[in-house]
Structure 1
């Protein structure tokens, strides 16, 4: 009897060790996926550091100049509608550096942000490579476009944040004063932080359909729930639009909120597609 217990204990220990080895093998695989992603981001960061003159003067400082693409388009829209107030001819912005190593740190931080932005699609691809072996064949087919769709949505979000939200926010905040006795002078870190936050946040927000797809696949989210919560989502989106674009005019808030409404509706469609696939699989007995 004791021999049987001993054999059983040995078998259980062997299964535990096998599970632990499998877990550590997964950790090792994940580590290398993350290492390769980090290397890609470092390469893009070095490239951004090398071409920093163009990146800083044209990309980062672009929204602070009246000849920026967004301001020129607003001027054309104003001319087309025969309405004044659309053109922005001057942006009162003055940047200061208050630290000894401030400009060097600025170059490193902004180059790193560019590196992360450019390396994000590769990071998604490495995550997909890590997750893919654990999926069934049908799940792999269903999620085969994950990297492409997530990358396209991220790029659209980045462009929307950089060309719409960022210039509108900067043009408003740079000229906003509560008293004529207070002169606006911004640190260069504050300016970079504003541009990066508004741009990258838009890229993340545009991942909403991907998040909906994942939650719907897990059974957490349904199209019926999203439809029933549409009225609440409208209020939340309008509040978010008012916060991230603190300009007082209604037109700017609508320009920001409309794409978010569209993303929400796309999320409903995605949730519906996932639900129909689940029903079809259940009918087929899979």
Structure 2
């Protein structure tokens, strides 16, 4: 099994990674290649945008689901809440059209992200060493999956909980709920994007630990500052000033910081053996110093060293 795995790694190195070595292209050729790949990414995103704009109304209707429904993980269904029907209004002539463009554009970028990352990978990979490719490739893939997981987590769990609390608070205070389509779409999209980024925190910490910038003991020492920083960042990123949404955003952020500490301890850059053995010659506290063994060859000046006799003196 181990021999077969070594053969597969050798084949992967010789057949896949080795041919991608940098051909030492001139700077202008690199710029031309970058322009071509960016153009491809923009064209692909534009094509996806045409499709998503055609279904923009449906996408907006999907964004409205967390407003008056709660997701039940056990049955994988949406259950209506006790909130009254919340009508949507628009306050400017082009507001509804602009929100459809915004929603379609964001979904187009999200759906085209794998192809955009592929073009970036094809541009960057010739300048990387083999061991760097083995690390960067899985890292990019995992970061994409983590971003999608954060978006889905926000859509199914965070948004329904936050919206139900906020709308219920206004209704119980005696206000009639009417939402601007621009305000609601901006609120929902902002939550989706921010939680997608929050799910990247463990991977970012792991990358810094892999590069040797931080380690697990360093991160543990700054736990309290990370907790405070999570609430400060959440206060800046939260679209509403209420502490409820701030806690909803800050607590997962700090939780992923703790996950990053564990990941840094497992995948972090290991200290060299020489550093670990540097203190081996230092005596422990309270230990008695060991007297040096006299060397007959290297003696101090003026000290007579007799030659060992082969026989016994009489």
- Using structure 1 for the length normalisation, give the TM-score: 0.71
Q: 1:106 aligns with which of 89, 95, 99?
A: 99
Q: 2:268 aligns with which of 265, 274, 282?
A: 274
The two structures, once aligned, show a CA RMSD in angstroms of 3.7
The question of whether the paired residues in 2 share the 8 Å contact of 1:91 and 1:175 is answered with no
Spell out the pairing of 1:126-145 with structure 2 (5 A cutoff). 126-145=119-138
- In 2, the alpha carbon distance for the partners of 1:161 and 1:176 equals 21
Shift in alpha-carbon separation, 1:196–1:263, aligned structure 2, 3 A: same
Deviation of 1:240 after TM superposition, in Å, equals: 5.3
Deviation of 1:159 after TM superposition, in Å, equals: 1.0
Q: 2:167 aligns with which of 168, 174, 195?
A: 174
Deviation of 1:61 after TM superposition, in Å, equals: 1.0
Deviation of 1:30 after TM superposition, in Å, equals: 2.1
Deviation of 1:26 after TM superposition, in Å, equals: 2.2
* 1:236 pairs with 2:239: no
Q: 1:225: which partner in 2?
A: 218
- In 2, the alpha carbon distance for the partners of 1:61 and 1:185 equals 13
**Unpaired runs of at least 5, structure 1:** 1-20, 77-86
The question of whether the paired residues in 1 share the 8 Å contact of 2:212 and 2:268 is answered with no
- In 2, the alpha carbon distance for the partners of 1:136 and 1:176 equals 56
SS in 1 for 2:37: helix
- In 2, the alpha carbon distance for the partners of 1:183 and 1:275 equals 57
Name the count of aligned residue pairs: 247
- In 2, the alpha carbon distance for the partners of 1:260 and 1:279 equals 32
Cα-to-partner distance string for 1:144-179 (whole Å, 9 max, x where unaligned): 312320111011111122122222222233344499
Q: 1:64: which partner in 2?
A: 67
The question of whether the paired residues in 1 share the 8 Å contact of 2:231 and 2:250 is answered with yes
Q: 2:26: which partner in 1?
A: 22
**Unpaired runs of at least 5, structure 2:** 1-24, 277-314
Cα-to-partner distance string for 1:211-244 (whole Å, 9 max, x where unaligned): 2244334443332221211232233335656774
Shift in alpha-carbon separation, 1:95–1:258, aligned structure 2, 3 A: same
Q: 1:9: which partner in 2?
A: none
The question of whether the paired residues in 1 share the 8 Å contact of 2:201 and 2:253 is answered with no
Write 1 or 2 for the structure with the bigger share of helix. Answer: 1
SS in 2 for 1:145: helix
Report the structure number with the largest CA radius of gyration: 2
